[in-house]
Amino acid sequence: MDLLSIVVPCYNEEESVELFLSEIQSILSDYNFEVIFVNDGSSDDTLNVIKDLADSNSNVKYLSFSRNFGKESVIYAGLSNANGDLVCLMDADLQHPPRLIPEMIESICAGEADVVAARRTSRKGESMLKSIFSRMFYKVFNRVSQITLVEGATDFRVMKKVVVDAVLELLEYNRFSKGLFQWVGFETKWIPYENVERVAGESGWSFSSL
């Protein structure tokens, strides 16, 4: 691997981004990486914090939206601007454990898969109502769709550039990345992990927006 691009959606993450970066720096000290923070029109100080990190660290880049467009738009913009031959997508709040990244990279470099993605094995810490509706969503989706979504599948993944290009070629207007990642195919390996609570701030999703 020459370069790993890490795409990080950020909506009101002023308290998380520094913690996120220091965690990434300590875990990926042996790797060549760039972090691309994508500010999704945050109303807090996220943009300034990210700008400062980018000024003092040549591994850090950022994009910033003029308003809140939602995580799907962030993912598209971030993936479009990733230069690495491997691309990692992960949340800013440390709910996607960075310690899994080396294993994900090594697995792809060993030729085991084109994509290594993380799967939550528990929903510990989540409200009962959210868990119930989430399970129902997966059941209904898998019944009506040609693709099968893996239970507990997250957006947290490391992908070869060829997979990213395939996803970006799909010019869907209303994007559902979890489905698109599955739809493009490719050899995918799943790594299970226990749910982790966010390091700071609160979830950007209301029940109705989910």
Residues that bind ligand UDP (CB under 6 A): 9-11, 13, 40, 68, 70-71, 74, 91-93, 95, 198, 203-205
Q: How far is the CB of 182 from ligand UDP (least distance, A)?
A: 18
Q: How far is the CB of 29 from Mg ion (least distance, A)?
A: 25
Give the residue from 81, 77, 88 showing the smallest Cα distance to 33: 88
Q: Which does residue 71 bind out of Mg ion, ligand UDP, none, counting CB within 5 to 8 angstroms by kind?
A: ligand UDP
Q: How far is the CB of 185 from ligand UDP (least distance, A)?
A: 25
| β-pair partners for 89 | 7, 157
**Token digits of residue 164:** 């990213």
Q: Which of 95, 154, 177, 182: binder of Mg ion (CB under 5 A)?
A: 95
Q: Which does residue 176 bind out of Mg ion, ligand UDP, none, counting CB within 5 to 8 angstroms by kind?
A: none
Q: How far is the CB of 181 from ligand UDP (least distance, A)?
A: 15
Give the residue from 165, 203, 195 showing the smallest Cα distance to 181: 165
The pairing of strands 188-193 and 115-120 is: parallel
CA 107, 113, 117, 120 torsion-angle sign: negative
Residue with tokens 């950020």: 10
User: Which residues bind to Mg ion, rule: CB under 5 A?
Assistant: 93, 95, 198
